[in-house]
Amino acid sequence: MSRLNLDDFSELIERPDSGIRRDAEERRERLAVPPGALGRLDELGEWLSAAQGAVPVRPVERPKAVLFAGDHGVAALGVSGRPAGTAHTLVRAVLDGVGPAAVLARRAGVPVRVVDAGLDCDPGLLPEEVVRHRVRRGSGRIDVEDALTAEEAERAVRLGMAIADEEADSGTDLVVLGDLSVGGTTVAATLIAALCGTDASVVTGRGGAGIDDLAWMRKCAAVRDALRRARPVLGDQLELLAAVGGADVAAMTGFLLQAAVRRTPVILDGVVSAACALVGQRAAFRAPDWWLAGQVSGEPAQAKALDRMALNPLLDHGVTVGEGTGALLALPLVQAAAALAAELPERPDQPEPRDARGEDGSD
């Protein structure tokens, strides 16, 4: 198998159809509801039309939540609100239907797929369909060692690509993308700081589980040290993911890039998916045209990444839990935009103006 080069995606990914988008905009001008009255829903409907290549837009009927799971060795430094190596408990909560993402997905009728890319637990704790894709058990401590070997990084990216192909082939028409990780926001902050050229303190937040001031300082130090290891490999996205990423992060990056190849729109969740998207943008500049930002997570690194990709979040409700929750909250908005664009009637033809003197031209 030849070595994967993420730069090749630049030639494979095309933008959504601009001609179709113009047709969708023209159709919007003819609807009975005045232009502008639906606000951003108009923009979302037109974006979906272009992504689908269809006017009017088709309803979003087969969405899927895809959550990549992994543990990060950097969590051992006490940078997370959860103990290191416990991401499997987040997975179990989703599988048992009691995690926030599971509750929202059930309410919306959205199936959830969990992919273990790098959990640090006995595989017997989880179902075979979850753990069978695992690249390795946990990821390395990025402040002092590589997260993955070069071979593992490539395997993880190819795993994400394969999952994207499976979803596209099965008819999934929109993906809600999230992560189930411990230590993931530290990895995400490192990737975003490296790609945006900023310092650790600028991008380091308090994570979905929340951390106190001492943990935040430890997290800043971890990001600072990891950045020293990231900067020398910025020219190669695969090397960057191996150095300071992780199996789940690399898999999500591969998923996002291949989803764009397959013309499958994706709603991003929080800072981890934003970091993966930023790596993807570095490889293929057209790829972000296939993605939406679901919500503001409160993480400063997410804001940096979304600004770099010119993605404007759909929601800002102060939800910090992660795990795909914010993207699931945004999904009904996208579905509503599609329904309105598809089902609102056009204005009836306007009558020809009458002569002021009467129909026959007389006074």
Q: Give CA–CA dist 350/37, Å, rounded.
A: 20
Signed CA dihedral, 316, 322, 324, 325: sign only: negative
Cβ(61)–Cβ(346) under 8 Å? no
Of 46, 151, 323, 352, the catalytic one is 323
pLDDT of residue 2: 59
CB atoms within 10 A of CB 62: 13
Enter the pTM of the model: 0.93
- Give the residue carrying structure tokens 């974006």: 47
List the one residue out of 275, 278, 295 whose CA is nearest residue 287.
278
Whether 323 is catalytic is yes
CATH class, 63-332 region: alpha beta
Cβ(280)–Cβ(287) under 8 Å? yes
Using alpha carbons, list the distances in angstroms from residue 294 to 67, 97, 227, 273, 328.
Answer: 15, 22, 27, 10, 8
Strands 266-268 and 291-293: parallel
DSSP 8-state secondary structure symbol assigned to residue 49: H
**3-class state of residue 71 by DSSP:** strand
Residues in the chain: 363
pLDDT of residue 202: 93
Tell me the two tokens of residue 258: 């291949």
pLDDT along the chain (363 residues), means of 10: 85 95 93 91 95 94 97 96 95 96 96 98 97 97 97 98 98 97 96 96 82 92 97 96 98 98 97 98 97 94 97 92 93 96 82 45 45
Q: Give CA–CA dist 90/100, Å, rounded.
A: 10
DSSP 8-state secondary structure symbol assigned to residue 184: H
